[in-house]
Structure 1
């Protein structure tokens, strides 16, 4: 494994607790880390990000094996987790730190992200335009240990928070059975 060449993708989709598990289960995912990206403070804290003081997004960093899963499939998984038409946050979490965004590492990722956004926008799946930002990658700061794998380590709290968020109802309404196709390949 030490000789493997892994890649990294960074996505913001509102509460990072809800973004980890959908990626964690995909074949080829090595690790999913909750953290912060895109702001102006070094080593921001959860309270600074949540208070909208740091300019960061709550995000996940996905380390993956490109021999087993490609960036396009990661984008497909990302779009299924968010409301791409909401530029004010995601579901119950409001404010700039909860907006959705794709952070690209290179021109190829930027082009793939823009192409996938345009395809989604043209699909007619949503009543409003897709407004999710596509931004250049900047430093990713790991969130505090408490937030890592929250869906596993604090499953009751996670389930309650996710249930009241409205995320699952949105996914069901706009994706229906198509949601699961990403996990069947």
Structure 2
């Protein structure tokens, strides 16, 4: 099994797209990349801890290759927006890929190069080496299952924001 971490704005919107495929064994919400040890949601949400909201994806490369993960990830984000994602604004909502292996890092860089021409602006999604992952509070896990109405509203807000661009 391998792990990779995707930051794509609010982690509430990042779990469901990855959660139902054979070969992906878990998708967990959490925080990465900051300077505060074991941050709380409030610290991350404030933008002062330096963390990004991420999802940790555990997958079997033989059943679900990294390229498929990257295709899903880049289809649900705006990789040209360095100010956040859609209605979620701030440094904690920027896009990034935290790689756990050099092979992931190389493949992610190659994938980004292969899609650059599809965008009118430069891709600003950062690629980092893995840093400590802090699991988000329990009420954030599987948010779309626990709070379907709120999740649906988040999706509507995200869609409305996209249509204004």
Is the TM-score greater than 0.5?
Answer: yes
Which is further off, 18-27 or 142-151?
Answer: 18-27
Q: Is 1:110 equivalent to 2:105 in the alignment?
A: yes
Q: Is 1:151 equivalent to 2:144 in the alignment?
A: yes
Corresponding residue to 1:42 among 4, 12, 37: 37
Q: Is 1:126 equivalent to 2:119 in the alignment?
A: yes
Q: Structure 1: 5+ residue runs without aligned partners?
A: 1-5, 174-185
Asked if the contact 2:87/2:161 (under 8 Å) is kept, the reply is no
Q: Give the secondary structure class of the aligned counterpart of 1:166.
A: helix
Aligned pairs for 1:9-158 (under 5 A) are 9-122=4-117, 125-158=118-151
Displacement of 1:161 in angstroms is 1.7
Asked if the contact 1:82/1:167 (under 8 Å) is kept, the reply is no
Give TM-score, length-normalised by structure 2.
0.94
Give TM-score, length-normalised by structure 1.
0.84
Aligned pairs for 1:154-169 (under 5 A) are 154-166=147-159, 169=162
Asked if the contact 1:36/1:56 (under 8 Å) is kept, the reply is yes
Displacement of 1:157 in angstroms is 0.8
Asked if the contact 2:86/2:162 (under 8 Å) is kept, the reply is no
Q: Structure 2: 5+ residue runs without aligned partners?
A: none
Q: 1:22 to 1:70 in 2, by over 3 A?
A: same
- Distance across 1 between alignment mates of 2:155 and 2:78: 14
Displacement of 1:167 in angstroms is 7.2
Number of residue-to-residue matches in the alignment: 164
Asked if the contact 1:150/1:158 (under 8 Å) is kept, the reply is yes
User: Cα RMSD (Å) of the superposition?
Assistant: 1.6
